């Protein structure tokens, strides 16, 4: 890749801005100042800008603990989006959310620069499991567990059998863990609606093999190599194109 394109992709400025930086001697490649913006560089070549080493990885994979009140979208003219919670270069690198959580839903959102991985994780044929903790406005019973497991009719489609585990159930409140293997619009809310309950709180704890763990609300982290390997294997891809931690 051309040096100017690499720097722009890494979020260091527009193509014109980074060309100026290169020509004025602010950039080194392999410890030597380079003034030619068209120089060919590979992803793992050490590059510095104003003396600071740049993270030149083009492949990124991360999870965010999404707070409520934030849109899952690449951009929005008026509202905050999940991209606003990530470093600016994630946008220029094309690190995008895989699937979506509603604005009021919290929890695990996975982002990747790998379009093939994203596509496979979202493919309806793959049945990637997603686990949610839902709070609802009334009790849940064995009948509801049975209804979820036999595949709820949601009008325009019948949901695949889902697992409902009731954690608490009182007269006007219940809390449950729901595991689904598809991801239609408002799916969990619609499934509860089909058994006469309104979801008052929804949180995603797991997406495929990825779990949120103790990641604080609003924070993000990159996947470990082990997580990434497991994720690729889970969608039938033998190996990640490259290690998430190599520079
Ligand atoms: N199902 C929903 O209803 N909302 C979400 O955000 C995710 C799954």
* Ligand 1 centre distance from Cα of residue 80 (Å): 19
Query: Domain count of the chain?
Result: 3
pLDDT tens for each residue of 140-196: 999 999 999 999 999 999 999 999 999 999 999 999 999 999 989 999 999 999 999
Closest CA to 202 of 40, 68, 90, 74: 68
Asked whether 101 lines ligand 1 (CB < 6 A), one says yes
Are 110 and 158 in the same domain?
A: no
Given a cut of 80, whether residue 240 has pLDDT beyond it is no
Is 102 an annotated catalytic residue? Answer: yes
Report the greatest alpha carbon distance in the chain. Answer: 71
Q: In this structure, what CATH number is given to the domain that contains residue 34?
A: 3.10.290.10
The pLDDT tens digits of the residues spanning 92-124 come to 999 999 999 999 999 999 999 999 999 999 998
Say if CB 54 and CB 215 are below 8 A apart: no
Annotated active-site residue in 36, 55, 102, 104:
102
Smallest Cα–Cα separation from 9: which of 51, 52, 41, 50?
Answer: 41
- Would you tell me the crossing angle of helices 115-122 and 225-234 to the nearest 10 degrees? 60
Instruction: Let me know whether 167 and 214 are in one domain.
Output: no
Which of 191, 73, 165, 180 has its CA nearest to residue 126? Answer: 180
- Model's pTM, two decimal places? 0.92
**Which pLDDT score, from 0 to 100, does residue 243 have?**
44
Domain span holding position 171: 129-207
The alpha helices in the chain, defined as continuous H runs, are 3-9, 15-23, 89-93, 115-122, 142-150, 187-194, 225-234
- If you average pLDDT over every residue of the chain, what do you get? 94
Query: Which pLDDT does position 44 carry in this prediction?
Result: 80
CB of 200 within 8 A of CB of 140?
Answer: no
What is the pLDDT, as a whole number, of residue 238?
79
């Amino acid at each position: 890749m051309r040096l100017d394109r690499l720097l722009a992709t890494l979020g260091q400025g527009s193509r014109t801005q980074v060309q100026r930086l290169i020509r004025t001697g602010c950039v080194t490649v392999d410890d030597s100042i380079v003034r030619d913006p068209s120089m060919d560089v590979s992803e793992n070549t050490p590059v510095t800008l104003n003396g600071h080493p740049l993270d030149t990885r083009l492949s990124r994979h991360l999870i965010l603990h999404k707070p409520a009140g934030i849109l899952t979208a690449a951009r929005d003219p008026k509202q905050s989006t999940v991209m606003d919670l990530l470093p600016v270069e994630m946008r220029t690198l094309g690190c995008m959310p895989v699937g979506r959580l509603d604005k009021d839903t919290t929890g695990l959102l996975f982002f990747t620069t790998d379009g093939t991985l994203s596509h496979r994780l979202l493919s309806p044929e793959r049945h990637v499991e997603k686990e949610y903790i839902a709070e609802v406005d009334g009790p849940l019973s064995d009948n509801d567990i049975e209804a979820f497991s036999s595949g709820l009719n949601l009008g325009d489609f019948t949901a695949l059998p889902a697992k409902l585990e009731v954690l608490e159930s009182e007269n006007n409140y219940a809390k449950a863990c729901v595991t689904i293997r598809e991801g239609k619009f408002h799916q969990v809310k619609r499934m509860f609606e089909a058994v006469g309950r309104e979801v008052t709180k929804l949180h995603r704890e797991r997406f495929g093999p990825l779990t949120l763990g103790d990641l604080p609300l609003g924070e993000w982290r990159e996947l470990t190599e082990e997580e990434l390997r497991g994720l690729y294997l889970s969608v039938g891809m033998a190996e990640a194109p490259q290690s998430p931690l190599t520079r």
